[in-house]
Amino acid sequence: MEFFIDENDRVDGIEKVTGKAKYFAEYQLPGLTYGVLVTSTITKGKIIAIDTKAAKNAPGVLDVLSHLNKPSAAGYEQAGGSPMKIFYTDQVFFNGQPIAIVVADTFERATYAASLVKVSYEKTAFNTDFEASIKDAAVKKLQGAPPYVRGIADAYKTAEVKVEQTYKMPVETHNPMELHGIIADWGVNDKVTVYAKTQGVKSTQNTIANVFKIPAENIQVNSQFVGGGFGMALRTWPLEIAAIMASKQLKKPVKLIITRDQMFTMVGNRPAAYQKIGLGATKDGKITGITHTAFGQSATYENFTEGVVNMSKFMYDSENVNTNYYVIPLDMGVPIWMRGPGEATGAFALESAIDEMAFALDMDPLDFRAKNDPEQDPSQKRPFSSKYIKEAYKLGAAKIGWNNRKNKPGSIVEGSWQIGYGVSVGVFNAGRGRASVKGILKADGTLVLQSATSDIGPGTGTGMTLIASKLMNIPVYKIVFELGDSSLPPAPSQGGSATLSTVGSAVNDVCVALKSTIAELAANSNMDATSNFVDVLKKNNLPMIEKTIQSSQNNPEAKNYSMYSFSIHFVQVKVHQLTGVVKVNKIVSVGDSGKIVSPKTARSQMVGGAVGGIGMALTEEAILDNRYGRYVNNNFADYHVPVNADVPDIDVIFIDKPDPIVNPMGAKGMGEIALIGFAGAVANAVFNATGKRIRSLPITPDKVLEA
């Protein structure tokens, strides 16, 4: 059977749907062995002894490694410091911490042998209770972000109208379908090859180089396809180092894939958060003060902070703004950015409070937002590079039928259901880093582009191909974009919605360079300046030309502007009056993220963000029993990601106007804004439907019923 793609399709779509795309776990190396982790069953304390006799004697077992017998990792020899140095400590920092790895000739045998490892501990008292720890937060010296004050702190307190509320966010886990892991192959002369699940092949390469103190060139990282990351693959986790140590020790390739329950403890999570917002406004709806104080969950052995309070500083025009952000170290695995990261957490609180204020003022929440929309970035006192949020308000409102919304909650009833509308905005920094791309333009009419970037799903290759296709006037099927290989020209990790901007700029620059070389060659060989590159190369007897370009990080103009992508989410929900069940009926998400380079994958990002947003709003919560420090719903039956039946049709609208500053394409990232704000829109819609304000996510039937 033959397949065809049109120019909007994913360049790797056929490989993905036919199973040809190879994910890290699918590589079959000769002599492959299998690692399985032994994890702590206590939450805090010290390992006294590890009895591996039975495990080592079990059939097929090659070795059991722990802090007692690991091979050396030179970068770990120095005491102290973060991150956690696996097998270099006898301390238990959290329940489910990897403390040994069993390697055997099959996965099943390794799994069984891991169950035979007996560990004795000295337990110490621990604390995993996030909310209870906030009470004494004031007296402790907490880390976090420096406090921010503009104008008068806590000005909301003296405002004509004020809202003062607390918003809660549980632990969420990324849990992409693809489980985390690695295949590690420590070869002769300290040459290391890994097949990884990573959002950054260069970052994985550097981490391994640092841990084992071997030259980065010795390390080859392959990660062409990633089955979802959402942020959890932005760092090299201790478990990956464990597999590499095992391979080093055994001189054999080791494959380690963790289990679904291990996905809850050792590869990060969206931290729980507790946020207080104080909002003050004049009676006619002008915001006079915003105070945003946030506490985030972190770990005792390593600190994690994120941008929970950022949005409050500049999204609305207020003379007085102050923010505080603290993290609470708990005896839990360290969190990591999860899609939309802290901004999504913060947006839920701020956008709920904005809605509460609009209601207190008896204003339409859209009008209230428009009235307080700043002309320029009030925190930096400089213009936005581009911002069409008011236009986005209008487009989204028209599409969802906002004029059907009644400002009075509980006004629309259909049978046992109450109907409500909600809106919320999202915003994320339109970052751009530095990347290198190599372009190889061939006389057969094809173009190969190479960069050590990643594609965790958004369609990086597709976006890059489209950028090049337009610039070079080459059809997409004649362009190949290679990524996920650390030997290619360097690029940063895929995170923070910056890949299209960063790598796309380098693709742009390399294409421009290739074009000018072709133009020169054409001129030198007396050809027309508009000649096709194939003819030019042939005339010059060149099979190909190559260029590698590192894009500059920014337009020099950029420092004069604040650069952000914006989104606005509209939802219509229905809430069952007797059972408290919430269903999202309609979604309209509008993205204001500059020029849309790849319409199909861009839409897919917005759709994925909305689905993740439904999860955040209605279903997702990792539940830990604080008496034991263990998760009690660490599986896909009990940790509820939304299913198809939870997701209505999603309308996606793009403003699609180029940003003149950010990069040559005029395109800003949009992976995060697709999710940021969404949960607030749902919570606001639930309020509009019922008059019940749920300030604690997820909005499950019990919370609605008891509100």
What single-letter DSSP state applies at residue 549? Answer: E
To the nearest whole angstrom, how small is the minimum distance from the Cβ of residue 322 to another protein? Answer: 36
**108: contact with another protein by CB under 8 A:** yes
Q: Which is nearer to another protein, 411 or 577 (CB)?
A: 577
Structure tokens given for 13: 């779509």
**637: contact with another protein by CB under 8 A:** yes
To the nearest whole angstrom, how small is the minimum distance from the Cβ of residue 29 to another protein? Answer: 23
Inter-residue contact 150 to 201 (CB < 8 Å): no
To the nearest whole angstrom, how small is the minimum distance from the Cβ of residue 625 to another protein? Answer: 5
**107: contact with another protein by CB under 8 A:** no
Q: Is 319 a catalytic residue?
A: no
To the nearest whole angstrom, how small is the minimum distance from the Cβ of residue 301 to another protein? Answer: 21
Q: CA-CA distance, 632 to 438, in Å (whole number)? A: 48
To the nearest whole angstrom, how small is the minimum distance from the Cβ of residue 647 to another protein? Answer: 9
Q: CA-CA distance, 167 to 309, in Å (whole number)? A: 13
To the nearest whole angstrom, how small is the minimum distance from the Cβ of residue 460 to another protein? Answer: 31
Q: Which is nearer to another protein, 540 or 700 (CB)?
A: 700
Q: Which is nearer to another protein, 61 or 681 (CB)?
A: 61
How crowded is residue 663: how many other Cβ atoms within 10 Å of its Cβ?
Answer: 26
For the stretch 641-653, what's the b/e string if a residue is b when 16 or more beta carbons lie within 10 angstroms of its beta carbon?
A: bbeeebebebbbb
Q: Which is nearer to another protein, 528 or 638 (CB)?
A: 638
Q: CA-CA distance, 320 to 539, in Å (whole number)? A: 67
Q: How far apart are the first and last CA of the chain?
A: 57
Task: Tell me the sheet residues that pair with 490.
Answer: 452
Q: Which is nearer to another protein, 1 or 645 (CB)?
A: 645
Cα separations in angstroms, 199 against 228, 336, 453: 9, 13, 8
Among 87, 105, 73, residue whose Cα is nearest residue 38: 87
**Catalytic residue chosen out of the listed positions 172, 178, 356, 672:** 672
Q: Which of 633, 657, 658, 696 binds another protein (CB under 8 A)?
A: 633
Q: Which is nearer to another protein, 353 or 587 (CB)?
A: 587
**623: contact with another protein by CB under 8 A:** yes
**578: contact with another protein by CB under 8 A:** yes
Q: CA-CA distance, 583 to 325, in Å (whole number)? A: 33
Q: CA-CA distance, 621 to 640, in Å (whole number)? A: 7
Q: Which is nearer to another protein, 35 or 200 (CB)?
A: 35
Type and span of the H or E element at 351: helix 341-360
**581: contact with another protein by CB under 8 A:** yes
**625: contact with another protein by CB under 8 A:** yes
Q: Which residue has the tokens 């702190």?
A: 153
What single-letter DSSP state applies at residue 587? Answer: E
**586: contact with another protein by CB under 8 A:** no
Q: Which is nearer to another protein, 41 or 540 (CB)?
A: 41
Q: Which of 642, 675, 680, 695 binds another protein (CB under 8 A)?
A: 642
Report helix, strand or coil for 685.
Answer: helix
Query: What mask of x and - would describe binding to another protein in positions 517 to 546, judged by CB under 8 A?
Result: ------------------------------
Q: Which is nearer to another protein, 115 or 560 (CB)?
A: 115
Cα 664 vs. chain centroid, distance in angstroms?
25
Task: Tell me the sheet residues that pair with 219.
Answer: 192
Q: Which of 23, 27, 477, 628 binds another protein (CB under 8 A)?
A: 628
Q: Binding to another protein (CB under 8 A): which residues in 59-98?
A: 59
Q: Which is nearer to another protein, 107 or 148 (CB)?
A: 107
Structure tokens given for 362: 């008896």
Strand order across the beta sheet in which 118-123 lies: 91-92, 45-51, 118-123
CA dihedral 452, 453, 454, 458 (to 10 degrees): -150
Query: What mask of x and - would describe binding to another protein in positions 14 to 53, judged by CB under 8 A?
Result: ---------------------------x------------
Among the residues of 186-331, which ranges form H helices? 201-212, 238-250
β pairing state of 564-576 and 417-429: antiparallel
Q: CA-CA distance, 245 to 247, in Å (whole number)? A: 5
Strand order across the beta sheet in which 192-196 lies: 61-66, 98-104, 33-39, 254-257, 181-186, 192-196, 219-222
Among 206, 355, 194, residue whose Cα is nearest residue 681: 355
Peptide bond into 648 cis (omega under 30): no
- 19-27, 537-545, 548-556, 576-584 -> range binding another protein (CB under 8 A): 576-584
To the nearest whole angstrom, how small is the minimum distance from the Cβ of residue 330 to another protein? Answer: 17
What single-letter DSSP state applies at residue 422? Answer: E
To the nearest whole angstrom, how small is the minimum distance from the Cβ of residue 624 to another protein? Answer: 9
**170: contact with another protein by CB under 8 A:** no
HEC per residue, 292-332: EEEEEEEECCCCCCCCCCHHHHCCCCCCCEEEEEEEEEECC
To the nearest whole angstrom, how small is the minimum distance from the Cβ of residue 675 to another protein? Answer: 18
To the nearest whole angstrom, how small is the minimum distance from the Cβ of residue 111 to another protein? Answer: 8
Longest dimension (CA), the chain: 82
To the nearest whole angstrom, how small is the minimum distance from the Cβ of residue 256 to another protein? Answer: 18
Q: Which of 34, 76, 112, 264 binds another protein (CB under 8 A)?
A: 112
**707: contact with another protein by CB under 8 A:** no
Q: Which is nearer to another protein, 10 or 109 (CB)?
A: 109
Q: Which of 411, 532, 696, 700 binds another protein (CB under 8 A)?
A: 700
- 177-185, 285-293, 357-365, 635-643 -> range binding another protein (CB under 8 A): 635-643
- Report DSSP letters for 637-661, one per residue: TTS-PPPGGG---EEEEE-----TT
Q: Which of 44, 109, 180, 371 binds another protein (CB under 8 A)?
A: 109
Structure tokens given for 572: 């219509």
Q: Binding to another protein (CB under 8 A): which residues in 643-672?
A: 643-646
Radius of gyration of the chain (CA): 27
- The count of chain residues that interact with another protein, using the rule CB under 8 A, is 37
**701: contact with another protein by CB under 8 A:** yes
Structure tokens given for 83: 């991150």
Q: Binding to another protein (CB under 8 A): which residues in 395-434?
A: 416
- 274-282, 316-324, 452-460, 580-588 -> range binding another protein (CB under 8 A): 580-588
Inter-residue contact 329 to 44 (CB < 8 Å): no
Q: Which is nearer to another protein, 43 or 469 (CB)?
A: 43
Number of H helices and E strands in the chain, helices first, is 15, 26
- 161-169, 503-511, 594-602, 619-627 -> range binding another protein (CB under 8 A): 619-627
The site for another protein (CB under 8 A) is made up of 41, 58-59, 108-109, 112, 115, 416, 576, 578-581, 583, 618-619, 623, 625, 627-628, 630, 632-633, 635, 637-638, 640, 642-646, 700-702, 705-706
Residues recognised as catalytic: 672
